Structure 1
């Protein structure tokens, strides 16, 4: 009893526990390096990883040239000027979509902001075959301007690299881990990270043989061409769906004729929901069109449409290094072909949860259900056995005959409205798997058209898989035959 008395234990000295500090990264830097880097004294400029990357390239098999300059691959590097962004409605005359440096990573960006296309915004346009690099905030995310991206205005937070030749080769080099380390070594800014064209000008890029350069360049160009083709197929599928169901333009259904939207709701249709957003008239209008022109209107929970709707539970994540776990992505990344900033989830700690809830399989439809509601994506073959977080609902299609059609409908403007009206939450918007099961979906009178829509979507998904494979081939050749070649 005496030994357990806390008052008598205050004088007892406890053994000290020595905490091992993390090893400090350090390296020696020559005065010549400091001068060549613009006399910059931030440690990040001489990071050991970036220093190894520079040494690897300079001591490599091929001679190097500066990325930007008279002899470099890049003729001009610039970004759009800052200006006041006067956004307009997408129904306005002569409008063009405006996207940021994160949306430019999407396979088929869907702008939510629009500006009038005029002389004032000409610097925000981008040319085809231009290499794009995010230069503010998150540094180094890469994209390549194909026909899809060339239609949009892109913010000044994306740097444009206009190449003399082989833009695909430049893109592939800068997207490798070696290229990314070099880009990050040039970051500046105490609050918001930035990088300027002059900082990237002296990045050395190997001048490989013409055969290798052309091979890598062609693979990247073909990859982005396939993305364009997949977008065209999905656009065709969506148009077929709208025509068959006689749906009016979504902008007509959403038109606001008064400053405050008011509407009546019958007591029998409240469904226990008193939030106005649940009862917006556009949902009833869409459903009326579906009921009139479809053979049948059912729900996602119908076993003819889906096998299962999965909403994973919340859990504490254990991340591991690449190669030791499953690829793990979030809702922000599901519109990307090869998501950047991937994480890796421990198989040891999450084996059962991965198998039952988190695992992704080809032709699943994904729906974001927390924060940003209603982003829809179709899982490609290259995402097989990847995992995604609990903010994404998985809809497992009943079979391949409806997998593509299901995705096309939910990804349309009309499907988005039917998803969004279930939203609840005063701080963070949410929907759950029960809501998704209740979403209306039409089964068409013309079965041939529904089958055609389904096949178009699945063909688009296959093209995206092939586009992914081509880009990976290009990156592998860049690593094996250029950067690490002996």
Structure 2
């Protein structure tokens, strides 16, 4: 059962007394905004007259994908922008797509998801993200004043801000948010000292994240550039032949791709090492799911969420469901989704640092735990190269979904160790973790200030006759509440 106190003034204003309505997060968040308004807080809309900025309109655009060798631009789908280091989902043709520049967001733009079942998450465009074409299925919020922009970014990430964003969602099949819905959200500026503190925290967070992303991307490129180039000797469509005695137990084509064999031979020639020689690989057993609220469990990541800065729809699991010590990630562990489609996000790595060391991950996640003396930053760089990605994807098998098995993974050849670049990559991942912590601190401070101010205002609210305005309690079953 969900129970929520509702201020009578707000209830009668909306003309609704049904509990299901008043227990919804959006209605409760709007009540907080109304109370802040009555308490003297400055409220400014995100867009429109006297608003903080404007919402750029992006109409549906036909996408023409690039042919091999054609001039192209990397493309990100909506949920790719939430990753630590987003990777292009596809390449779009420069000649086949008109006005691609319109879809390449400028640094400082706030990208807001506008459709989907997990409607609400948003991302901040930095130098790294601005290199990509971003799907037209994201609203662009432009706020010229940097202080206002950073404060609005923090507020929209709070539970109150997220609830306000989804309050007016529409759609018969999937939820949808319009440009007007986003522009009408009001941002509360509670006091100058809080605004200054939040802006500084957010500035540190976005700058640190930008620097870490750009540096990490450069490190991967530098590391891969020193490896032997791997190119096909012929066209893929022409196929190849394979001796029957070399097939072994695998009949799938990708496993016997000559390019993979060439890659392994090239790495062996420069002193490559097997995964099993430098790390322990494992995947825990399947478990029963007992999800709970955050106060009663540990966060548990899926393969998709491993790559996200702020995991979308993060869930928490109870201790009775599994042994925490077996599923705990630990500092320095390299992880990737090991079940899915080999041609998509399976095998894309992430490195666990201190802020997520005690988090858990599902049984679908591969753990690669470096041995004593193995540089975890180098391990990440190695797995991020196309040389290793092609081997891991080729090793996957399965009749319904592709699965990477620890025993096959142990045979994958890695490039020779590079301690200097490995140390730099590890520091980048630590900086990404620090940026997350700074942003989380800012978001929590804004939400705490809102709840504190609202809590102080409710007992003092009076009507026009200077009489105390009562509240009533709305309750609804959890299965019925939005």
Q: Give the TM-score, by structure 1 length.
A: 0.84
Question: 1: CA distance between counterparts of 2:216 and 2:373?
Answer: 16
- Structure 1 residues 378 and 220, CA gap change in structure 2 (3 angstroms): same
SS at match of 1:284: helix
DSSP-derived class of the 1:421 partner: helix
Per the TM alignment, residue 52 of structure 1 is displaced from its structure 2 partner at its CA by 1.7
User: CA, structure 1 residues 465+24, in 2 after alignment: closer, same or farther (shift >3 Å)?
Assistant: closer
Q: Does 1:257 align with 2:235?
A: yes
Cα drift, residue 79 of structure 1:
3.9
Q: 2:144 aligns with which of 147, 164, 169?
A: 164
Distance 1:279 1:344 in 2: 41
Q: Which residue does the alignment assign to 1:212? A: 194
What are the within-5 Å matches in structure 2 for residues 174-193 of structure 1? 174-193=156-175
Aligned residue in 2 for 1:11: none
Looking at structure 2, the residues matched to 26 and 157 of structure 1 have their Cα atoms a distance apart, in angstroms, of 36
Q: CA deviation at 1:43?
A: 10
3-state SS in 2 of match to 1:156: coil
1:98 corresponds to 2:75:
yes
SS at match of 2:347: strand
User: Partners of 1:332 and 1:458 in 2: how far apart?
Assistant: 21
Cα deviations by residue, 1:108-158 (Å, 9 ceiling, x for unpaired): 110121213464333312111111111111310111011111111111221
Residue 86 of structure 1 corresponds to which residue in structure 2?
64
Query: Is 1:465 matched with 2:428?
Result: no
How does 1:443-454 map onto structure 2 within 5 Å? Answer: 443-444=416-417, 450-454=418-422
Deviation track 1:1-20 (CA, whole Å, cap 9, x = no partner) reads: xxxxxxxxxxxxxxxxxxxx
How far does residue 483 in structure 1 lie from its aligned partner after superposition?
4.9
Against the structure 1 CA distance between its residues 338 and 105, is the aligned structure 2 distance closer, same or farther, given a 3 Å change threshold? same
Partner residue in 1 for 2:405: 432
Check whether the contact 2:54–2:183 (CA below 8 A) recurs between aligned residues.
no
CA distance in structure 2 between the partners assigned to 1:44 and 1:82 by the alignment:
35
Alpha-carbon offset, residue 24 of structure 1: 10
- Supply the distance in 2 between the matched residues of 1:23 and 1:481 (Cα, whole angstroms): 23
Q: CA 1:287 to 1:201, structure 2 compared with 1: closer, same or farther past 3 Å? A: same
1:152 maps onto 2:96 in alignment: no
Q: Which has the higher contact order (CA 8 A, sep 6+)?
A: 2
CA separation in 2, counterparts of 1:230 and 1:400?
A: 24
Q: Distance in 1 between matches of 2:47 and 2:19?
A: 24
Q: 2-side partners of 1:30 and 1:188: how far apart? A: 22
Confirm or deny that 1:367 pairs with 2:333.
Answer: no
Aligned length in residues = 440
Aligned twin of 2:30: 54
Q: What per-residue deviation string (whole Å, max 9, x for no partner) do you get for residues 327-377 of structure 1?
A: 011011111122121100101332x2x212x11111100021111421211
Q: What do you get for the CA RMSD once the two structures are aligned?
A: 2.7
- Closer, same or farther in 2 for the Cα pair 1:80/1:400, shift >3 Å? farther
Distance 1:23 1:211 in 2: 35
> Per-residue CA shift, 1:142-201, capped at 9, x if unaligned?
110111111111112211111132211111101111111111111101111101021233
SS of 1:159's equivalent? Answer: strand
Partner SS state of residue 374, structure 1: coil
* Mapping 1:247-286, distance limit 5 Å: 247-248=228-229, 253=231, 257=235, 260-286=237-263
What is the aligned partner in structure 2 of residue 341 from structure 1? 313
Could you say which residue in structure 2 is the equivalent of 1:323? Answer: 295
In 1, Cα distance between equivalents of 2:44 and 2:311: 30
What SS is found at the alignment partner of 2:382?
A: helix
Q: Distance in 1 between matches of 2:80 and 2:404?
A: 23
Following the alignment from structure 2 to structure 1, what is the Cα–Cα distance between the partners of residues 22 and 384?
46
Structure 1 segments unaligned to the other structure (5+ residues):
1-21, 35-39, 445-449
Question: Does 1:412 find its partner at 2:385?
Answer: yes
Which consecutive unaligned segments of at least 5 residues does structure 2 have? 457-482
